[in-house]
């Protein structure tokens, strides 16, 4: 069973699917922003940045040679990105539900060397304060869907990292 899971996560189709999922999530966020006038808050922008990281790693994994020793690294980086996405998604839902109270201002908090909000304001500029995400389907809000998605994805990426590490270990 572990070999089948490992084979699933070590093919180019997996990385292409990861990139397309992250890209479609970014596209959906932009659709909500520009078509349905739901401005992004700072936590929403942070989620977009984590998804950009997932797209970048997926693209690199697609372009680089596949191998038994490099795949655990890609899955490890992907798991870290999903961990960041999970944390931001939880903060977004907790703020929406009133579980936590924190300052949510109009500054993305990005350093000058990574000023995505200045370089690409159409995608990464904070435009509203936190506390509300739009409803998607069946009463599920965007924050709830993000938390569920990121929890499933971190389980997947950690599982793939472990199976690919076991594959490397069994090679010796």
Prediction pTM value: 0.89
Own/partner pairs, 61-67, CB within 8 angstroms, 24+ separation? 61/15, 62/12, 62/15, 62/16, 62/19, 66/10, 66/11, 66/12
Residue 52 pLDDT greater than 70, yes or no: yes
Q: What is the pLDDT, as a whole number, of residue 9?
A: 67
For residue 142, name the pLDDT band (cuts at 50, 70, 90): very high
SS3 23: helix
Residue 48 in contact with residue 141, Cβ under 8 Å?
no
SS3 36: coil
Q: What are 2-16's pLDDT values in tens digits?
A: 566 656 667 788 899
Residue range 97-126: average pLDDT? Answer: 85
């Amino acid at each position: 069973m572990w070999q089948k899971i490992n084979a699933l996560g070590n093919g180019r189709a997996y990385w292409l699917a990861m990139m397309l999922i992250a890209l479609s999530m970014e596209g959906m966020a932009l659709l909500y922003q520009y078509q349905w006038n739901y401005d992004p808050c700072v936590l929403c922008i942070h989620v977009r940045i984590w998804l950009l990281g997932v797209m970048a790693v997926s693209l690199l994994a697609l372009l680089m040679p596949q191998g038994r020793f490099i795949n655990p690294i890609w899955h490890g980086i992907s798991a870290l990105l999903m961990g960041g996405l999970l944390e931001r998604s939880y903060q977004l839902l907790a703020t929406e539900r009133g579980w936590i109270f924190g300052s949510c201002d109009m500054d993305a908090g990005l350093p000058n060397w990574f000023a995505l909000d200045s370089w690409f304001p159409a995608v990464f500029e904070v435009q509203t304060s936190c506390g509300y995400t739009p409803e998607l389907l069946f009463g599920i809000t965007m924050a709830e869907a993000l938390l569920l998605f990121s929890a499933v994805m971190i389980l997947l990426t950690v599982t793939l990292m472990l199976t690919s590490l076991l594959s490397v270990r069994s090679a010796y």
